[in-house]
Every structure is written in structure tokens, then in C-alpha cells.
């Protein structure tokens, strides 16, 4: 028998927060009580869950009392502000921000890749970056069979990675351009509609942006290979909510393409999409709203005998964020790594 849990969503009004709410309902997560936490300006508003209207509450130091699980997606600064209070109240805190991902004491988990890491939690589990999650799901089944030596990634990242307001900004810019007006950029540094530009996160001294370094460092941690050679070029493109990635994978030995295709077609969290005759492969429009990562165009790298090329698309809001967090929560329940409130269990 699975006992129900008292759950809180921190950042319930954002793109990921509302997706968390939807997924908890769709996947019938065992919930006894659900608390929606947001900023003071959202307090008093309501969101729907299983036919009920739930009020939004302003988060404070009493918000986590009698809560078993927190799903947080309110940004790094908010998570840093409340995580100690939450853990002190006895909750397990699954954080979607970048605040704790590279903390050596905090497990960084993709359930299809390193579910065992969840058992090491001390009240806090980090959800990886969206591009890292999608890449890890697609690459790990191959890495298990033939260890990777190097990954070269090029990403094509949707507006949703910057939130719901960014998605609306792209729509507004597209309308302006189609009506012969100048597009206005507010959240992004440049107009994204009918345009693209290298990812707008801060650059380091080596010329890599934060988003690219997340892919490098997080992949190493998740795979448990601290010296894995990873390089990435991240690009923002005018797509609403699904990221795409072109990956070049170098292995220790040549990897048979047919074997790779078979492995990926059978791997959890992946849908193989390949129609070579029609030149039909994963597209963001197909990946949007889907749980699985769409993978295809798997082929031999003509320039290197031990390298493969593949292409993937995945919903940034779902598997790239909210779904992965909910799957971590489900993993905790399945492995008895989170205890329901005593009053509820008895």
C-alpha cells in the first residue's frame, strides 16, 4: 500500500510550476494534501487540481510545516532562501534550479541514468539542467555498452527555457514582424522571432557560457565520469517549448550503428523517430507535450571510425524540468526514500 504524501510546489505559477501541477494529476501521484506556494503578488489567486480550486499562498517560514515533499521551481535565489527551513521541517526538497547541482553533497538525478544516487540524499536532490537531462537520457544507454570518450553537442534551445513570459515575448515579436513593425526584446537581449543567437547566459574567460558549462559539468557528475570530455555550443532558437540537440559521440571503440539504433529503441524514456525514405526525424513540434525524448538520424561519423552522430528533440518543460522532478519523487516513493507524515501513515 502506498501512503499519500503532503506535497508543496514552490513556484507554482511559472511555466514549470504549472506543468508540475498538471503532471502530479496526470500521473496520479499519491497526494494527501497539496500546497501551492508563490510570491506575495500571486497570493489569493487559485489554480485547478483534480477539479478543485487550490489557493496560492505566499511562501514564508511556516509554509513547510507538515509537508513531506517540496517540488521547487522558483529560481536559484528563492531555493537558497528556503531550502534550509524546508529541510529542517523534515521535507525532501527536489530543486529545479541551478543552486545546488554541483554541490558534492547533493545528488543530481536523472532516473533513467543514475536512480541509485537518489538514495544518498540528505533532504535535498537537484534536478539537472534541461539540455543535460535530454542528452543524458539519449546518450547513457550507449555509454553503458561502450564507454564514451568525448561528446560534442550543439543545442537549439526553445524560448521556454527562459520561462512563460519569454514564450509570450517570441509570439509578440513574431506578430510585430508580420505586421511590418520592429520587434521589441525585453527578456532576451535580442529579438528571437525569426532569429537565433548564441545562448545569452554569462560567458567565462574561456568563451563558454553558463549553459554550456552546465552541460559539461552536470553530465560528468551524473555519469560518474569526472574527466569525460564534453564540449557544447548552445543556441537560442525561435521555438516555443522543445529543445533540440545535435550530438557527436566518440567511443573507445567503433559502435555499430544498427546496434546503437536497437539499444535506443528499447531504452526507457526514448522514442526512436526515423523515416529515412521520407527524411523524417525528430522535430520540436512533435516533441512538444511528449514525455519521451525523441531520438533519430543515428549515423556513422564519416570523419571518425569510433564516433556516431545523432539528433534529438525533447520537451523542455516536461522531461527537461517538471517531469524529471516528478519522476524523482516517484523514485523516492518506490524505494521508500521518503516517509509520509506519521499521522497519515497510521
Are 192 and 200 a contacting pair, CB within 8 Å? no
From the candidates 121, 143, 199, 243, give the one annotated as an active-site residue.
243
121, 130, 143, 199: which one is catalytic? 130
| SS3 label, residue 58 | strand
DSSP states of 246-302 as a string?
EEEEEESS---HHHHHHHHHHSTTEEE--BTTTTB---HHHHTT-SSEEEEEEEE-T
Cell reading at 5: 504524501
Q: Is 243 a catalytic residue?
A: yes
Place of cell 516513493: 333
The strands making up 307-315's β-sheet, listed across from edge to edge, are 197-198, 229-236, 148-157, 242-251, 307-315, 293-300, 270-272
Q: What is the largest CA-CA distance in the chain?
A: 65
Q: Which residues are CB-contacts of 286 (< 8 A; sequence separation ≥ 6)? A: 273, 294, 313
Q: b/e string for 174-208 if b means 16 or more Cβ within 10 A? A: beeeeeeeebeeeebeebbbebeeebbbeeeeeeb
User: What are the catalytic residues?
Assistant: 130, 243
Amino acid at each position: 500500500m502506498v501512503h499519500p504524501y503532503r506535497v508543496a510546489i514552490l513556484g507554482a505559477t511559472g511555466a514549470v510550476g504549472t506543468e508540475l501541477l498538471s503532471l502530479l494529476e496526470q500521473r496520479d501521484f499519491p497526494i494527501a494534501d497539496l500546497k501551492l506556494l508563490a510570491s506575495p503578488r500571486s497570493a489569493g489567486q487559485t489554480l485547478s487540481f483534480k477539479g478543485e480550486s487550490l489557493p496560492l499562498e505566499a511562501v514564508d517560514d511556516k509554509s513547510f510545516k507538515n509537508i513531506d515533499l517540496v517540488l521547487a521551481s522558483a529560481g536559484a535565489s528563492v531555493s537558497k532562501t528556503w531550502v534550509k527551513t524546508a529541510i529542517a521541517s523534515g521535507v525532501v526538497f527536489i530543486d529545479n534550479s541551478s543552486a545546488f547541482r554541483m554541490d558534492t553533497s547533493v545528488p543530481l538525478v536523472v532516473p533513467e541514468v543514475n536512480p541509485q544516487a537518489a538514495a544518498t540524499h540528505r533532504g535535498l536532490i537537484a534536478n539537472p539542467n534541461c539540455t543535460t537531462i535530454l542528452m543524458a537520457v539519449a546518450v547513457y544507454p550507449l555509454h553503458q555498452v561502450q564507454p564514451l570518450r568525448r561528446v560534442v553537442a550543439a543545442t537549439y534551445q526553445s524560448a521556454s527555457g527562459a520561462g512563460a513570459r519569454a514564450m509570450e515575448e517570441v509570439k509578440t515579436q513574431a506578430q510585430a514582424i508580420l505586421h511590418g513593425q520592429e520587434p521589441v526584446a525585453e527578456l532576451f537581449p535580442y529579438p528571437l522571432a525569426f532569429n537565433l543567437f548564441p545562448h545569452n547566459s554569462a560567458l567565462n574567460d574561456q568563451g563558454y557560457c553558463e549553459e554550456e558549462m552546465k552541460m559539461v559539468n552536470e553530465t560528468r557528475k551524473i555519469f560518474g565520469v569526472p574527466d569525460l570530455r564534453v564540449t557544447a555550443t548552445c543556441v537560442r532558437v525561435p521555438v516555443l517549448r522543445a529543445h533540440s540537440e545535435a550530438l557527436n559521440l566518440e567511443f573507445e571503440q567503433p559502435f555499430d550503428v544498427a546496434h546503437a539504433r536497437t539499444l535506443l529503441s528499447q531504452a526507457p524514456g526514448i522514442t526512436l523517430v526515423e523515416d529515412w525514405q521520407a527524411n523524417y526525424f525528430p522535430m520540436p513540434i512533435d516533441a512538444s507535450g511528449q514525455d519521451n525524448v525523441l531520438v533519430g538520424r543515428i549515423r556513422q561519423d564519416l570523419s571518425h571510425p569510433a564516433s556516431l552522430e545523432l539528433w534529438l528533440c525533447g520537451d523542455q518543460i516536461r522531461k527537461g524540468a517538471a517531469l524529471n522532478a516528478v519522476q524523482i519523487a516517484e523514485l523516492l516513493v518506490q524505494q521508500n526514500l521518503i516517509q509520509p507524515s506519521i499521522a497519515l501513515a497510521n
